[in-house]
Amino acid sequence: MLIGIISDVHNNLRHLHKAIKIFNKKKIELLLHCGDWASPFTLQMYEFLNCPIKGVTGNADPDIQKFLYQLQNKFQNLELELSERFLDLTIEGKRIAVFHGNDKNLIEVIKESQLFDVFCVGHDHHSKIEKVGKTLVVNPGSLVGVFLPKAMWAPLTVATYDTELDKAEIVEIK
C-alpha cells in the first residue's frame, strides 16, 4: 500500500492543491496528516483527494471540536479520522505512529521505544527520513517552508511510504 504523509499545511490552499494532485497521481490509498492544518476551512480542499485521511491536530490548530463540527455539517463526504494528539494504527502489518511533533521529549521516547515500524512526525517544517533501530522516522516537511541560514528557503515537501517495500520518499512540491 502506498501512503501519503503531510504536515504543517498552515492554510496554504495553493500548495495543498498541488500536493493533492501529486498524491492522486501517485494513487496513494491513505493520507496520514501530522497536524497544523490551521483552520477547518482547509477541509474543503481534501475533498479532492481520492483516498481516506487519518490525522492528528497540531499546536497551530484550533479546538478539535471545530474540525468535527465542519465534518458533520459541511464535509460529510470527506472520509477523515481525526485524533487530538496521537494516532497508533496498524496497516498491512506495519505499526505506525502519527504525532505532530511539538514535544521533543515525547519524540525521543517514541523513537527509542522501538514499538513502531514507522513514526510520522512534523512540526519543525524540515523534511527528513531516518532509521532509528527498527523505526523508520518520516518528517514530510511543510507546505509553507521555513527560512534557513544563508538566505535560503527549505523546499515545500510531502512524503510517501510504501508498506510493501518499507521505504519512504520525500516529494518536493513545485
pLDDT band with cut points at 50, 70 and 90 for residue 148: low
Q: How many whole angstroms from its chain centre is CA 50? A: 16
Indicate yes or no: pTM above 0.85.
Answer: yes
Concatenated DSSP letters for 122-140? -SS---EEEEETTEEEEE-
Q: Locate 65 and state its grid cell.
A: 471540536
**Residue located via cell numbers 514499538:** 115
What cell was used for 117? 515500524
Per-domain boundaries in the chain: 2-172
- Sheet containing 135-139: give its strands across: 86-91, 94-99, 118-121, 135-139, 128-132
Give 75: exposed, middle or buried? Use CB within 10 Å, 0-12, 13-18, 19+: middle
Q: Which helix (H) or strand (E) holds 16?
A: helix 13-26
pLDDT at 147: 66
pLDDT of residue 153: 78
For residues 4 and 34, the answer to whether their CB atoms sit within 8 Å is no
Tell me what the mean pLDDT of segment 165-171 comes to: 98
Whole-angstrom Cα distance, residue 15 to residue 82? 21
Fold of 2-172: Purple Acid Phosphatase; chain A, domain 2 (3.60.21)
* Selection from 82, 80, 75 nearest residue 98 by Cα: 82
Q: Would you give the DSSP letter of residue 164? A: T
CA dihedral 158, 162, 165, 171 (to 10 degrees): -20
Question: What is the pLDDT averaged over residues 80-85?
Answer: 93
92-147, pLDDT tens digit by residue?
Answer: 999 999 999 999 999 999 999 999 999 999 999 999 999 999 999 999 999 998 76
